[in-house]
């Protein structure tokens, strides 16, 4: 039986949808007369303020542009939520399957992980290096998380904000409390 990875399908669909929405919004913006473009992009200006000043076709173009821009923003937020979920699953699985401390996990680099052997080198208490093993589920989620990253930071787990920085113990503890 073939295993269908719903998270990857959802992420790929969201990314494709986001790109389509963003492209369409750009096309709509190009149809708006130049003198109204800045105002159209400024969502703080109500559409009613254009009535009497712009023709009906321009008003409709501004309204459509704003709707598609909002759809695009909504999809971008969903993408960020899916990616956050992938990272969080990887963190939970690594911690649960290895038994390592959060402080040990935040020090891990990508180079410390051996996917073939499902193991990683951990620097523990007293600066003693040891090998810990993770299960197949942790391997799957960790690979998906790493595949979703677009940065070149050597840290295994990084913050969600750009530029990506190594996660901290406090950041992980805070995230775990929210789950």
Q: What is the pLDDT of residues 38-55, one digit of tens each?
A: 777 777 667 777 777 778
Helix (H, G, I), strand (E, B) or coil at 113: strand
Q: Which helix (H) or strand (E) holds 132?
A: strand 129-133
More confidently predicted of 76 and 144: 144
SS3 content of the chain, % helix, strand, coil (to 5): 65, 10, 25
DSSP of 114-131: ETTTTEEEEE-GGG-EEE
Which residues does 90 contact at the CB level (< 8 Å), separation at least 6? Answer: 138, 141, 142, 144, 145, 157
Looking at residue 60, its pLDDT comes to 86
Q: What is the pTM of this model?
A: 0.58
């Amino acid at each position: 039986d073939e295993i269908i990875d719903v998270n990857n399908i959802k992420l790929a669909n969201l990314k494709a949808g986001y790109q389509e929405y963003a492209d369409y919004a750009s096309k709509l913006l190009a149809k708006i007369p130049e003198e109204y473009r800045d105002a159209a992009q400024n969502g703080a200006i109500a559409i009613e303020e254009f009535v009497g000043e712009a023709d009906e076709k321009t008003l409709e173009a501004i309204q459509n542009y704003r709707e598609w821009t909002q759809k695009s923003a909504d999809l971008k937020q969903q993408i960020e939520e899916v990616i956050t979920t992938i990272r969080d699953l990887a963190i939970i699985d690594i911690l649960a399957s290895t038994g390592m401390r959060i402080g040990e996990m935040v020090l891990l680099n990508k180079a410390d992980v051996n996917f073939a052997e499902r193991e990683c080198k951990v620097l523990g208490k007293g600066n003693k290096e040891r090998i810990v093993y993770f299960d197949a589920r942790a391997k799957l989620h960790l690979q998906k998380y790493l595949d979703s990253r677009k940065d070149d930071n050597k840290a295994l787990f990084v913050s969600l904000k750009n530029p990506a920085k190594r996660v901290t113990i406090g950041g992980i503890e805070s995230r775990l409390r929210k789950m």
